[in-house]
Structure 1
């Protein structure tokens, strides 16, 4: 490579997810590291995609997304949160949640702007902020509850604070925002010029009687926020890369300026299929029960293991504390589990910019019962 070439992200390498998956493949280990299901997509949804391809939806879709899907998104928001969203000016369909996150950060972050990120955090936030010249201000949350000290957060906010990024429910902790969190964030936004990016891709995957909580239901935050969701997470089709962003007119106008020169539009046949599929609201209303059963099965199965299971209020992840087994750094311990015990998990330190080690590993339980049974056997023998 030309010695004059200068990387825009010199500190970024292969993600921990790719590393652990490659290691799992190398040693023939059960892969519970990456966050995707190992069971089949609903054949009804597959058939709908085929139908729309066969009738000609194979060219560019509208830049904001096909109208029928935007209508169903607005309907879903109304049914869930009783909030009206304008289908023409406030919704854009994106190539997955990550592209929506990238575009929202690109929309507001300029050189020297500060961006607050709650860690452990999804790994795309910090690199994208840095790519656009922003400065990441990490807020480290601690196990077992990963609660937010909002007074501390308030002390970090200043004239340079451009964006606050939240993930609710949170990957990897499984923590869901409560009303007190919403109120505290509202007070901070009201007294500053900061915008909010709310990553809500696991919105409908919450447990133990909890209801979905979105910033869109708070009038103050709705006017200052990009709310992002994912059909990949909603319908077990992560490889289709279809999500959406909801934002007020002024923000969405700027968001679309970048979106149109990035991907322009998203797969039309898939959009049409998802819109038709959404005519039955039970497609997403039953998700909490579906995943709660999987969480409970796994948690019960390893209750007598040497691991300590941390609370999971949502998402399709649980975290386990291994300090009763080893004092090794979580990355070293996770690598050893792959080699010696044939199970791949994610070390939580990878979700902190400081690589904070709390002796915790993340497990994805969006798996078939057979896979979870195998996981239980492996974990009980460690």
Structure 2
């Protein structure tokens, strides 16, 4: 309808949210559904963090806060960046937002003009290109391949850069693939970026603490200090501390950019929830044993899911270095028919037929810019994952 903004025509609804909602509706209708479409830990928020929130309520910490966040949380963020990433920021160089998504939206709204290009490596988190479009920018997709485990190479990055490039969206470990960049892989990308000083880097580190085995996480501004002045390093408490509903994201970056983001936030949401901010202070400064515990469980789940999916006829599932997703290829199954005669022409056909036949809700890979794949979140109970993967195996075995 003409009353609505033309910007709405530039964006699509979130595919992950849509699949999760469909799964909820089917479950409410009585179907036996296992939903592995949502990117949130199934663990409860640690008790010390919940107690900190309750204590904050008891102290009356329930008023508006400064737009950029309470000083105590911003100081904790400064300490976190120094302790874990060897990055030096002042309190004024930090901002607290209503989740990591708002950090990204603020940054793009504050910097992107019509005609500006933002490089988004594919496969990508579904919201990156939509936020770029909402802000009037142009997304340039840099397609990674299975050969590189869905990680962007230096040559692919170089080919995507033009004089109009403003940002590179960088996500490691990556949603949806779980791929994480080694220091050597990151160094190769940094060398390209150093040759193009007009390109800024938005480093989405939200899965920083979810890496497995001997993998060592490194963030771009840490590896290449020359990039510090044009890097926004974004993180949050949602994934690392099972705090998705608390809605706290944060970032550190150049002062002028942070001030511009604060200006945007001041006219949209103002500050994040006061109680959630005090809970986040405890998350960043309190005991960190939850992280190691959850990482161990997620690694066990990853290994189970990878093994079972690779045993399914026609699936190829690489082993991710981080996050809590696997991103298998179902290309070999496209063109086959289900038991009721439906042809699976696309990855979306595959996940739709799987949901109908076996009650397992996954997200099709084309929603993430990689046709022929699907994403499965293993942030679910181990027995539920075992059951879901057995159903996937059964479904794949019936295709002809």
Q: TM-score, normalised by structure 1?
A: 0.92
- The answer as to 2:388 corresponding to 1:375 is yes
191-200 or 5-14, which deviates more:
5-14
229-238 or 299-308, which deviates more:
299-308
Check the 8 A contact 2:124/2:175 in 1, yes or no: yes
Check the 8 A contact 2:153/2:189 in 1, yes or no: no
Of residues 146, 149, 154, the one that matches 1:150 is 154
Instruction: Report SS of the residue matched to 1:366.
Output: coil
Distance 1:135 1:11, change over 3 A: closer
- The answer as to 2:227 corresponding to 1:207 is no
Equivalences for residues 1-382 of structure 1 within 5 A: 1=1, 3=2, 5-27=4-26, 28=31, 29-86=33-90, 88-143=91-146, 145-192=149-196, 193-217=198-222, 218-277=224-283, 278-306=285-313, 307-327=315-335, 328=344, 329-352=346-369, 356-357=370-371, 359-382=372-395
Deviation at 1:9, TM superposition (A): 3.0
Q: Distance in 2 between matches of 1:23 and 1:66?
A: 38
Check the 8 A contact 2:306/2:318 in 1, yes or no: no
Distance 1:276 1:23, change over 3 A: closer
Deviation at 1:141, TM superposition (A): 1.4
Instruction: Report SS of the residue matched to 2:280.
Output: helix
1:129-178: per-residue Cα shift (whole Å, max 9, x none)?
12222111111112251132322321332221111111111111111122
Q: TM-score, normalised by structure 2?
A: 0.88
292-301 or 222-231, which deviates more:
292-301
Deviation at 1:367, TM superposition (A): 1.1
Deviation at 1:267, TM superposition (A): 1.2
Q: Distance in 2 between matches of 1:20 and 1:246?
A: 33
Q: Distance in 1 between matches of 2:159 and 2:310?
A: 40
Gap runs ≥5 in structure 1: none
Instruction: Report SS of the residue matched to 2:106.
Output: helix
Q: Distance in 2 between matches of 1:223 and 1:30?
A: 45
Q: Distance in 2 between matches of 1:285 and 1:197?
A: 27
Deviation at 1:371, TM superposition (A): 2.0
Deviation at 1:25, TM superposition (A): 3.1
Q: Distance in 2 between matches of 1:287 and 1:109?
A: 37
Q: Distance in 2 between matches of 1:155 and 1:373?
A: 42
Check the 8 A contact 2:15/2:126 in 1, yes or no: no
RCO (CA 8 Å, sep 6+): is it higher in 1 or 2? 1
Distance 1:318 1:132, change over 3 A: same
